[in-house]
A and B are shown apart, each in its own frame.
Chain A
Amino acid sequence: GAGVSQSPRYKVAKRGQDVALRCDPISGHVSLFWYQQALGQGPEFLTYFQNEAQLDKSGLPSDRFFAERPEGSVSTLKIQRTQQEDSAVYLCASSFAASSYEQYFGPGTRLTVT
Chain B
Amino acid sequence: QKEVEQNSGPLSVPEGAIASLNCTYSDRVSQSFFWYRQYSGKSPELIMSIYSNGDKEDGRFTAQLNKASQYVSLLIRDSQPSDSATYLCASRSGGSTLGRLYFGRGTQLTVWP
Interface extent on B, as a size class?
20 to 34
B98 touches A45 (CB 8 A): no
* With contact pairs A41-B105, A91-B44 given, residues A31 and B99 touching in the complex (Cβ less than 8 Å): yes
B25 at the A/B interface (Cβ < 8 Å)? no
- Which of A14-22, A67-75, A80-88, A101-109 is the interface stretch? A101-109
> B-side interface residues toward A, CB under 8 Å?
4, 32, 34, 36, 42-46, 49, 88, 90, 94, 97-106
Residues of B within 8 A of A98 (CB): 98-99
Residues of B within 8 A of A99 (CB): 94, 98-99
Query: Which residue of B34, B104, B106 contacts A102 across the interface (Cβ within 8 Å)?
Result: B34
Residues of B within 8 A of A31 (CB): 99
B49 touches A48 (CB 8 A): no
* With contact pairs A91-B44, A104-B46, A107-B42 given, residues A56 and B99 touching in the complex (Cβ less than 8 Å): yes
* With contact pairs A102-B34, A102-B49 given, residues A45 and B100 touching in the complex (Cβ less than 8 Å): yes
Taken together as a complex, chains A and B put the C-alpha atoms of A104 and B45 apart, in Å, by: 7
A-B contact pairs, 18 of them (CB 8 A): A41-B106, A42-B4, A42-B88, A42-B90, A42-B106, A43-B101, A44-B103, A45-B101, A48-B100, A50-B99, A56-B97, A56-B100, A95-B99, A105-B36, A105-B45, A106-B43, A107-B43, A108-B43
B85, chain A: closest CB distance, angstroms: 14
Query: Total interface residues on A, using CB and 8 Å?
Result: 29
Taken together as a complex, chains A and B put the C-alpha atoms of A59 and B103 apart, in Å, by: 13
Residues of A within 8 A of B103 (CB): 42-44
A65 at the A/B interface (Cβ < 8 Å)? no
Residues of B within 8 A of A106 (CB): 43
